[in-house]
Amino acid sequence: MKPPHNNRPGNRGPASGGPRKPGGPGDGEPRSRHGGQRPHGGFHPGGGARPGQGNPPRGGAPRPDEARPRDDSPTRLHVARPPNQSGPRRFDARPDQRGDRPPSGPRRDDSRPAPRPDIRAPEPRPGPDSPRGTVWLYGLHAVAAALANPARRLRRLLLTEEAEAALLSRLKQPWPLAPERVERGRLEHLLGRDTVHQGVALLADLLATPGLAHALERKGTVIVLDQVSDPRNVGAILRSAQAFGAAVVVVQERNAPEETGALAKAASGALEKVPLLRAVNLARTLVALKAAGLWVVGLDSSGAPLSGPALAQRRVALVLGSEGEGLRRLTRETCDEVVGIAMPGSGGGLDSLNVSAAASVALYELGRRV
């Protein structure tokens, strides 16, 4: 049986020992905040209970139904450990104080470990870095042709000991600039580990783009590339153009590769000898070629077989389409005729050639007179 309410430990009178008067604080049921009995509690030294705050019962945890302190400050989350509870100490999380950090100790179950630093080796760069308006050329043929080209402005020549002897066999000294002796590791760091540089690299300015009228002063077939985007294909076509005596190679200003070391190496020196012209509007360029007296021939697998003797009396502008789509509609409609390449062994899904291979075969056929 519970003792009477007035005889509970938390409701004893003042230290004088006299009986508590009925109706005083602590008698009867607790009063509510808006009137009636106040919750049980002691007195502070100044006398009387603190406004809005009751003292917890002695010798135990605070009762859940007691009034909590009123605080007008921003909301705070108070997480406390009861006096007799064992376990790690917890802390107060205060959103209004951003600088507070929890003390060191056991990690919470929902925390995640810090990510480990990435210690993987860096990926190889896609190409060498060069100042604006310049290009790193590499490969013995490309560098030797650039050194022999008076229209090319040269800046630096890097050579290994073995490459210097090989370059001397292709181009006699004196060279336009003094070489710098380097190790192969430096060239690989500069150009990329997968670059076949043959121990030589040349930093040079980009070539100036010639005008169409100036390019047509050269004799031979004009090659027009309709959005051929692979620099190795463009370089291989330049190499075939030099081999079969073409006058100029025309590419679109957009959707065509820039002058790079990969393009120059695939051209094997032809970049320095065959002009590479860039046109903003390819259809208008074809119209200008027609006005200059050229016969514009588009190359497509759907056309009739190309015949060199049938075009022997004409100067031809040969148009080749991109690697995947071929000739675009407007380009095809602007051509005077569309022809293909005779392939007796075609079949089984093989009905076309790579664009650089097709250019070589077509240029050979156009050079055949009988």
pLDDT digits (tens, 9 = 90+) for 172-212: 989 999 999 999 999 999 999 889 999 999 999 999 988 99
Q: Which CATH superfamily is domain 212-342+352-366 in?
A: SPOUT methyltransferase, trefoil knot domain (3.40.1280.10)
Three-state secondary structure call for residue 215: helix
pLDDT value of position 221: 96
Angle made by CA atoms 284, 357, 235, in degrees to the nearest 5: 65
* pLDDT single digits (tens) 211-264: 999 999 999 999 999 999 999 999 999 999 999 999 999 999 888 999 999 999
Which residue ranges make up each domain of the chain? 134-205, 212-342+352-366
Report CA 18 to chain centroid distance, whole Å: 86
The region of weakest confidence among 31-35, 142-146, 168-172 is 31-35
Q: What is the C-alpha to C-alpha distance for residues 135 and 146, in angstroms, rounded to an integer?
A: 11
Confidence of residue 25 (pLDDT cuts 50, 70, 90): very low
Which residue type sits at 126?
A: P
* pLDDT single digits (tens) 125-162: 445 667 889 999 999 999 999 999 999 999 999 999 99
pLDDT value of position 111: 53
Q: What is the C-alpha to C-alpha distance for residues 137 and 330, in angstroms, rounded to an integer?
A: 36
Q: Which of 33-37, 93-97, 104-108, 360-364 has the highest mean pLDDT?
A: 360-364
Q: What is the C-alpha to C-alpha distance for residues 39 and 25, in angstroms, rounded to an integer?
A: 9
Please say if the pLDDT value at position 11 is more than 60: no
**SS3 sequence of 324-364:** CCECCHHHHHHCCEEEECCCCCCECCECCCCHHHHHHHHHH
Q: What is the pTM of this model?
A: 0.65
- Characterize 94-128 residue by residue with b for buried, 16 or more Cβ atoms within 10 angstroms of its Cβ, and e for exposed: eeeeeeeeeeeeeeeeeeeeeeeeeeeeeeeeeeb
CATH architecture of 134-205: 2-Layer Sandwich (3.30)
Mean pLDDT, rounded, of the chain: 77
Please say if the pLDDT value at position 322 is more than 60: yes
pLDDT value of position 343: 87
pLDDT value of position 112: 57
pLDDT value of position 329: 94
